[in-house]
């Protein structure tokens, strides 16, 4: 489980995240949604340790990551898998080398075992035959899937996804969402997904946190979000005229 | 930054693989350009020396002597290092800069990899090891180019040229050149890596980092050339 307590972060006096507190449970896909510029990615960077919050606590199974020593922090990072917005695959390495890299770096697996693990992860994301390709030879959706395979290769306890659907068509987006959900269930990870895609929310949002004005504005699930009375969240969900009319019709 | 770079590698065999990749990427791939430049520069030095030595009191073997010392003392270690600052320096800065803006460095950090050490240490080690070989090759080719085009142009005979390059040969000159080369190799790799690593923004900033890296490397090479010459030769 990951717990955030009173996270505050500002850049040059401008508050990006204010008093953010929340719990993210194990085995669930937790979604953080909000408009562009609402501070979602900064919050995620604070959670994974790429940025240090000004104040607050980031608790991984009860241990504050901000108070950990270098060695402890490094051990924690070995339990983290992250899917970046653009995939962040290493351009100079093949797909297989990308996946085996964390294994070669932090495990005592033999090359054969690493290859087997890479094959398993690639088959898990339906890219069995892509091992010898370079990232430049992959489509956007394939890159995301390889990035997921790389993230799950070392069997992480925590999975973070920064806008996994950005730049993808709706069909591929749903595939990626389902994959994240399946992997979370299968490996019982604590998964946090940053998104502003309502399809993702409805598809995999077991827990949904809405950020507005750089604060936590609403908390619920995909089952309760459509009936929310929260005005800002309604504005976020029913942004198109079509959806607003659909909602009015359904309400009679 | 250098304190984080010079740490014990987290996994030796992974670093070793990166090191050999960098030897190929930064060293072996520079061979053709260095060979061409050295051959022609050696030839030009020879012809210019012959053009300058018009007095009957100056023996013709002085052409070989001048070419040898110019190539060994200054042309190969300094001018070739300046050329490598352009080629290798921009390569390092743009590669690491692109990794920064495409979040590849963040991905390394998230995995628990010391990104500074993993990305920069193999490059510094590769440059400091391979550049002396490149410079020695450049010395041979520069002197050979001078002989080849000097004899073809008829400005000096093979006997006079070979006598000139053997005349009062001081082996410390080679040591001096190699010391300079190693220092310049460190400057090229570390300064370029620094500019690449701290790139912020997008593609435009990667280009700017790359340009800045070449400019800073060139200036530092010239300054250290002066300092090392003062220290070692005066």
Residues of B in contact with A78 (CB under 8 A): 111-112
CA distance B59 to B53: 8
Per-residue pLDDT for A248 more than 80?
no
Local structure of A161: helix, strand or coil: strand
Span of A201-210, B65-74, B157-166 with lowest mean pLDDT = A201-210
Which phi-psi region, left, alpha or beta, contains residue A37 (left: φ > 0; alpha: ψ -120 to 50)?
A: left
**Residue of chain A nearest B114, judged by CA positions:** A74
What is the average pLDDT across B12-34?
Answer: 92
- Within 10 Å of residue A34's Cβ, how many Cβ atoms? 25
Is the CB of B112 less than 8 angstroms away from the CB of A106? yes
Per-residue pLDDT for A154 more than 80?
yes
Report the sign of the C-alpha dihedral through residues A191, A152, B116, B31, in that order: negative
Quick: pLDDT tens for A53-112: 999 999 999 889 888 888 888 888 888 999 998 889 999 999 999 999 999 988 889 999
Burial of A111 (0-12, 13-18, 19+ CB in 10 A): exposed
What pLDDT score was predicted for residue A165? 84
Percent of chain A with pLDDT strictly greater than 70:
97
What pLDDT score was predicted for residue B61? 87
The Cα of B136 is separated from the nearest Cα of chain A by a number of Å equal to 30
Which one has a higher pLDDT value, B179 or B5?
B179
CA distance B154 to B63: 12
B111 part of contact set with chain A, CB < 8 Å? yes
Is the CB of B104 less than 8 angstroms away from the CB of A80? no
**Residue of chain B nearest A147, judged by CA positions:** B107
Of A197, A211, A160, A192, give the one whose Cα is nearest residue A18: A211
Q: What is the 3-state secondary structure (H, E, C) of chain B?
A: CHHHHCCCCCCHHHHHHHHHHHHHHHHHHHHHHHHHHHHHHHHHHHHHHHHHCCCCCCCCHHHHHHHHHHHHHHHHHHHHHHHHHHHHHHHHHHHHHHHHHCCHHHHHHHHCCCHHHHHHHHHHHHHHHHHHHHHHHHHHHHHHHHHHHHHHHCCCCHHHHHHHHHCCCCCHHHHHHHHHHHHHHHHHHHHHHHHHHCCCCCHHHHHHHHHHHHHHHHHHHHHHHHHHHHHHHC
Is the CB of B98 less than 8 angstroms away from the CB of A91? yes
The order of strands in the sheet holding A80-83 is A80-83, A158-162, A190-195, A29-34, A207-212, A215-220
B98 part of contact set with chain A, CB < 8 Å? yes
Quick: pLDDT tens for A108-123: 899 999 999 999 989 8
CA distance B217 to B52: 33
Per-residue pLDDT for A214 more than 90?
no
Residues of B in contact with A75 (CB under 8 A): 112
* Average predicted confidence (pLDDT) for chain B: 92
What pLDDT score was predicted for residue A240? 67
For residue B14, how far is the Cα from the chain centroid? Answer: 26
Per-residue pLDDT for B129 more than 90?
yes
What pLDDT score was predicted for residue B146? 94
CA distance B212 to B200: 13
What pLDDT score was predicted for residue A137? 94
CA torsion A134-A140-A146-A149 (nearest 10°) is 170
Per-residue pLDDT for A196 more than 90?
no
What is the average pLDDT across B54-80?
Answer: 89
Hey, of A92, A108, A157, A158, which one would you mutate to test binding to chain B, going by the most B CBs within 10 A of its CB? A92
pLDDT bucket at A252, cuts 50 / 70 / 90: low
Hey, of A82, A157, A158, which one would you mutate to test binding to chain B, going by the most B CBs within 10 A of its CB? A82
Quick: pLDDT tens for B166-225: 998 899 999 999 999 999 999 999 999 999 999 998 999 999 999 999 999 999 999 999
Quick: pLDDT tens for B43-53: 999 999 988 88
pLDDT bucket at A227, cuts 50 / 70 / 90: confident
Of B34, B89, B120, give the one whose Cα is nearest residue B218: B89
pLDDT bucket at A194, cuts 50 / 70 / 90: very high
A75 part of contact set with chain B, CB < 8 Å? yes
pLDDT bucket at B60, cuts 50 / 70 / 90: confident
* Average predicted confidence (pLDDT) for chain A: 87
pLDDT bucket at B117, cuts 50 / 70 / 90: very high
Provide the chain A residues 110-169 that lie in CB contact (below 8 A) with chain B. Answer: 154
Quick: pLDDT tens for B85-116: 999 999 999 999 999 999 999 999 998 899 99
Closest CB from A50, A74, A102 relative to B106: A50
Residues of A in contact with B104 (CB under 8 A): 88-91
The Cα of A206 is separated from the nearest Cα of chain B by a number of Å equal to 25
The Cα of B14 is separated from the nearest Cα of chain A by a number of Å equal to 7
Residues of B in contact with A108 (CB under 8 A): none
Is the CB of B113 less than 8 angstroms away from the CB of A105? yes
Task: Please state the φ and ψ torsions of residue A211, each to the nearest 5 degrees.
Answer: -105, 130
Provide the chain A residues 4-63 that lie in CB contact (below 8 A) with chain B. Answer: 48-50
What pLDDT score was predicted for residue A178? 87
Report the sign of the C-alpha dihedral through residues B195, B196, B201, B202, in that order: positive
B14 part of contact set with chain A, CB < 8 Å? yes
Per-residue pLDDT for A36 more than 90?
no
Residues of B in contact with A77 (CB under 8 A): 109-112
Span of B4-13, B22-31, B117-126 with lowest mean pLDDT = B4-13
Is the CB of A89 less than 8 angstroms away from the CB of B14? no
Q: What is the DSSP letter of A217?
A: E
Is the CB of B111 less than 8 angstroms away from the CB of A48? no
What pLDDT score was predicted for residue B7? 83
What is the average pLDDT across A27-43?
Answer: 88
A183 Cβ contact list (under 8 Å, min separation 6): A124, A148, A152, A159, A189, A191
CA distance B88 to B91: 5
What is the average pLDDT across B58-64?
Answer: 87
Per-residue pLDDT for B54 more than 80?
no
**Residue of chain B nearest A105, judged by CA positions:** B11
Local structure of A39: helix, strand or coil: coil
């Amino acid at each position: 489980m990951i717990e955030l307590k009173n996270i505050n972060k500002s850049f040059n006096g401008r508050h990006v995240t204010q008093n953010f507190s929340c719990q993210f449970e194990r085995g669930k896909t937790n979604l953080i949604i909000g408009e562009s510029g609402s501070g979602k990615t900064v919050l995620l960077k604070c959670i994974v340790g790429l940025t240090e919050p000004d104040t607050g606590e980031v608790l991984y199974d009860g241990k504050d990551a901000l108070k950990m020593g270098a060695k402890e922090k490094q051990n924690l990072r070995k339990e983290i898998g992250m899917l970046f917005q653009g995939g962040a695959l290493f351009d100079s390495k093949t797909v297989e080398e990308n996946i085996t890299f964390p294994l070669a770096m932090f495990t005592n697996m033999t090359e054969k075992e690493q290859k087997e693990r890479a094959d398993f992860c690639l088959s898990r994301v339906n890219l069995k035959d892509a091992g010898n390709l370079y990232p430049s030879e992959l489509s956007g959706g394939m890159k995301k899937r390889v990035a997921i395979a790389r993230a799950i290769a070392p069997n992480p306890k925590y999975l973070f996804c920064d806008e996994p659907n950005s730049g993808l068509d709706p069909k591929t987006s749903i595939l990626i969402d389902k994959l994240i959900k399946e992997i979370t269930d299968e490996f019982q990870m604590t998964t946090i997904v940053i998104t502003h895609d309502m399809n993702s929310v409805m598809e995999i949002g077991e827990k949904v946190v809405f950020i507005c004005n750089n604060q936590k504005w609403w908390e619920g699930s995909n089952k309760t979000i459509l009936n929310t009375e929260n005005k800002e969240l309604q504005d976020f969900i029913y942004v198109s005229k079509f959806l607003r009319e659909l909602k009015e019709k359904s309400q009679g | 930054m250098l304190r984080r770079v010079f740490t014990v590698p987290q996994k030796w065999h992974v670093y070793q693989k990166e090191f050999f990749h960098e030897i190929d990427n930064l060293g072996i791939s520079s061979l053709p350009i260095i060979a061409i430049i050295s051959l022609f520069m050696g030839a030009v030095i020879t012809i210019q020396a012959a053009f300058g030595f018009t007095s009957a009191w100056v023996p013709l073997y002085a052409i070989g002597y001048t070419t040898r010392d110019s190539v060994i003392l200054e042309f190969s270690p300094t001018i070739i290092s300046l050329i490598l600052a352009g080629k290798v320096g921009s390569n390092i800065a743009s590669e690491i800069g692109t990794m920064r803006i495409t979040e590849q460095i963040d991905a390394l950090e998230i995995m628990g990899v010391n990104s500074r050490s993993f990305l920069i240490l193999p490059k510094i080690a590769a440059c400091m090891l391979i550049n002396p070989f490149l410079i020695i090759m450049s010395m041979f080719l520069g002197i050979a180019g001078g002989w080849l085009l000097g004899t073809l142009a008829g400005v000096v005979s093979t006997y006079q040229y070979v006598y000139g390059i053997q005349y009062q040969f001081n082996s410390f000159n080679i040591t001096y050149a190699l010391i300079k080369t190693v220092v310049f190799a460190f400057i090229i790799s570390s300064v370029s890596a620094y500019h690449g690593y701290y790139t912020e923004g997008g593609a435009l900033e990667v280009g700017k980092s790359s340009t800045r890296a070449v400019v800073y490397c060139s200036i530092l090479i010239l300054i250290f050339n002066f300092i090392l010459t003062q220290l070692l030769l005066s």
